[in-house]
Amino acid sequence: MYDAKSRYATQPTVTSTAADGTPITLSAPRVVPAPDVATSGYDVRAGDRLDLLAHVAAGDSTQWWRLADANPWHDATRLERPGQRVDLPGREGA
């Protein structure tokens, strides 16, 4: 159902029924785990974006969601604000 790199790849699915009787399959709610790798602090600079930071931290821009998991704020756009200190998973002591 999802790409192997997706954070939902191993997520169980649930089936619901729409008002017209059509079955709808979707992912069960995902519980955000604690980061499974070391993190380091990083001061966001102008022009930084989640995909670029993910490329630096994980070597893969599609892993931006790992940054969101490591910095569990309600507003993920805070991860791109210049001057904001964020944790980058996978960059121990960097």
List pLDDT tens digits, range 22-75: 999 888 776 666 655 566 788 999 999 888 988 888 888 888 888 888 887 767
Length of the chain: 94
Cα–Cα distance measured from residue 92 to residue 52, given in angstroms and rounded to the nearest whole number: 18
Say which residues have a Cβ less than 8 Å from residue 55's Cβ, sequence separation at least 6. Answer: 61
pTM for the full model?
0.57
Residue 16: give the domain boundaries.
1-30
Both tokens of 37, joined, read: 């790798």
Both tokens of 38, joined, read: 């070391």
Question: Domain check: are 22 and 48 in the same one?
Answer: no
Q: Comparing C-alpha atoms, which of 68, 74, 71, 77 is closest to residue 48?
A: 77
Question: Domain check: are 48 and 77 in the same one?
Answer: yes
Q: What's the CATH code of the domain at 75? A: 3.10.350
Question: Domain check: are 39 and 80 in the same one?
Answer: yes
